[in-house]
Amino acid sequence: MNLLPSASPLADEVDWLIGSLLGVSLLVLALVMGLMGVYVIRYRHGSGLDRGDVAQKTWRIEVVWTTATLVAFFGLFIWGGNLFVRVYRPHPNPLTISVIGKQWMWKTEYPGGQHEINQLHIPVDRDVQLLLTSEDVIHDFGLPAFRVKRDVLPGRYEALWLHPNRIGDYHLFCDQFCGTDHSSMIGTVTVMTAPEYQDWLERNSTSSGLVADGQALFIRNGCSGCHQAGLSGGAGTVRAPSLNGLYRSPVPLSDGSTVIADDRYIHDSIIYPKEQIVASYAPVMPSFKGVIGEEDLVKIIAYIKSLGPHAPLPGRS
Ligand code: HEC
Ligand SMILES: [Cu+2]
């Protein structure tokens, strides 16, 4: 069954699905073409029978034939639809890794601040969420061994879920023609055991980490000037919502709807602040599109996510 290396249970299932579809299709093809061939040869001389008055006919064959193919193909359709939903379904407590496409390389950033180019290291038997975005044009992150790919769009977050179950090195591609050196946007995904992974993280750890870098950027870009804890509405400051405990909590918007503050919401709040306005606040936040790069955004978002409900924000001392 495995002509291509497979690194996850879902990839195995995709193979079975495609295999079954191919099998059923070949069966139908063989039956139709086979019967046709047999009759063409067997009755090639024709016969002198009088067919003028055929009184009886039976529906049985047609009913059986139609029902069998309907059930087979509709079954495959339902299986495929169900598999598609499971491939993209979010899982609780994933390991989240940011992947940023850029002409012409893939940059990966880990929660501990580790980062690499054209490499992705993930532990086996764990839910991994890849948050994909692009610094410039549309790319597409493709992992054949996981049978998944997803378009990577500038200024937007897309998620891809992996659950590796086999250790090894696998290919990683850009699957969307994105310019002259598109063909060099290739790399390796390495699936490691949990202890090996821990070891790898420690060997590649940077001094600060995403959260600390994010905090510095939060201050440097002037976010802290408006988003200061306890100071909303204070004299001389712009009234801005506190970001403490924001991550994963519901946010009421000015149009009356409510959204859950996930990675994508926080990202879009910074890049497209005018699109979703927090209820009872004025749309005064400037857009940071083109001002803060995607790599720095990953750090700022990590910092905002780290703020618990009672965390003090920087910039007050
Ligand atoms: C001029 C003041 C100002 C600056 C500077 C500013 N913001 Fe805001 N921000 C606001 C206001 C006002 C809102 C609420 C209205 C809205 O949704 O646009 C807001 C909303 C947000 C939200 C959504 C909060 C929620 O409760 O849903 C996030 C996240 C955010 N800002 C992050 C940032 C980051 C990160 C920076 C720095 C890169 C920044 N802001 C800079 C004023 C500011
Ligand atoms: Cu590309």
- Flag whether pLDDT at 46 surpasses 80: no
Percentage of the residues of the chain whose pLDDT score is greater than 70: 92
DSSP the chain: --SS---SHHHHHHHHHHHHHHHHHHHHHHHHHHHHHHHHHHTTT------S-------HHHHHHHHHHHHHHHHHHHHHHHHHHHHH---SSPEEEEEEEETTEEEEE-TTS-EEESEEEEETTS-EEEEEEESSS-EEEEEGGGTEEEEE-BT--EEEEE---S-EEEEEEE-S--STTGGG--EEEEEE-HHHHHHHHHHT--SS-HHHHHHHHHHHTTHHHHS-TT-TT-TTS------TT-TTSEEEBTTS-EEE--HHHHHHHHHSTTTSPBTTS-S-PPP-TTTS-HHHHHHHHHHHHH--TTPPPSS--
Query: What are 92-124's pLDDT values in tens digits?
Result: 889 999 999 999 999 998 888 788 899 999 999
Mean pLDDT of 54-73: 86
- Residue 158 Cα, ligand 2 centroid: separation in angstroms? 15
> Higher-confidence residue: 174 or 241?
174
* Closest ligand 1 atom to 246 CA: 26
- Residue 227 Cα, ligand 2 centroid: separation in angstroms? 36
Query: What are 153-197's pLDDT values in tens digits?
Result: 988 889 999 999 999 999 999 999 999 999 999 999 999 999 999
Q: Which of 269, 270, 289, 297 to mutate to test the pocket of ligand 1 (most atoms within 8 A of CB)?
A: 269
C-beta separation of 283 from 307 below 8 A: no
Domain ranges of the chain: 1-26+75-206, 210-306
Percentage of the residues of the chain whose pLDDT score is greater than 90: 52
Q: Which of 213, 270, 285 to mutate to test the pocket of ligand 1 (most atoms within 8 A of CB)?
A: 285
Q: Which of 227, 262, 276, 303 to mutate to test the pocket of ligand 1 (most atoms within 8 A of CB)?
A: 227
- The set of residues, in sequence order, having a beta carbon less than 8 Å from that of 35 and lying 6+ positions away, is none
**What is the pTM (predicted TM-score) of this model?**
0.73
Instruction: Tell the residue nearest (CA) to atom 11 of ligand 1.
Output: 240
Indicate whether residue 270 lines ligand 1 (CB < 6 A).
yes
CATH code for the structural domain at 210-306: 1.10.760.10
CATH code for the structural domain at 1-26+75-206: 2.60.40.420
Indicate whether residue 261 lines ligand 1 (CB < 6 A).
yes
- Flag whether pLDDT at 311 surpasses 60: no
- Flag whether pLDDT at 54 surpasses 80: no
Per CATH, 1-26+75-206 and 210-306 having the same topology is answered no
Nearest ligand to the C-alpha atom of residue 244: 1
Query: What are 185-240's pLDDT values in tens digits?
Result: 999 999 999 999 999 988 887 767 788 888 889 988 988 888 874 444 444 456 78
- Residue 88 Cα, ligand 2 centroid: separation in angstroms? 22
